[in-house]
Amino acid sequence: MLITIPSILSKDDVKQVRAHLDAADWEDGSKTAGPQSAKVKHNKQLPPVSDTAQTLGQFILQKLTDDPLFLSAALPARILPPMFNKYEQAETFGAHIDNAIRVNPLTQERLRTDLSMTLFLSEPEEYDGGELVIQDHYGTHSIKLGAGDLVLYPSTSLHEVTPVTRGARISSFFWLQSMIRTDAHRTILFDLDQSIQSLSTTIGSNAVETVRLTGIYHNLIRTWAET
């Protein structure tokens, strides 16, 4: 399931984050890539353990975990600290699949990457190129969102960032391990949860149908969850 989630950060939030990033020292992005990805990764990245990365990462995580659509879609168990990258003239990240296991640079905890996330921090008109292109069973999706918007997609997806030809594409990227391992099960639960929320609005949260579906939802989580 690929889903875009608008306004994780407000425009004022984005301005504050960008002010810190614009004053930060960036390094070669290939330092945190795997052996295969390093050959096709050409960008700049904020050092993950820097004070700026940690402070901004905690700010983003707080905003993210307050968002009901994100929680419904991801059902997160653990989230890696957000990282930050910048693509400028001719910089790109060729087609790759994210590493299955990543290590939290702050705690050394290992985490299975079920879902990948990109939070856009540049407005589309600030740069040309730089589309996030994701391939799945339904085709190829080219994604370029407004600043503050996020895309969430399975980490099993082949994806790339096309070359930037003007300006700078700045974003935050990170991964999570979901309580629900498989994308198919997460999709079923997301659709069910969205239906329950709609019914709660139209016929009430205490209606027999709403209560019954809520029970089914939680029983499915009980069946499929890994914590």
Residue list, annotated binding site: 96, 98, 159, 169
Annotated binding-site residue numbers for 2-oxoglutarate:
169
Whether the CB-CB separation of 185 and 81 falls below 8 Å is answered with no
Q: Is the dihedral of CA 159, 44, 170, 85 positive or negative?
A: positive
Q: Which of 116, 118, 84, 78 is nearest to 99 (CA)?
A: 116
Annotated binding-site residue numbers for Fe cation:
96, 98, 159
Q: How far is CA 194 from the centre of its chain?
A: 20
Residue 51 CB contacts under 8 Å (≥ 6 apart), including other chains: none
Token pair 């989580």 is found at: 221
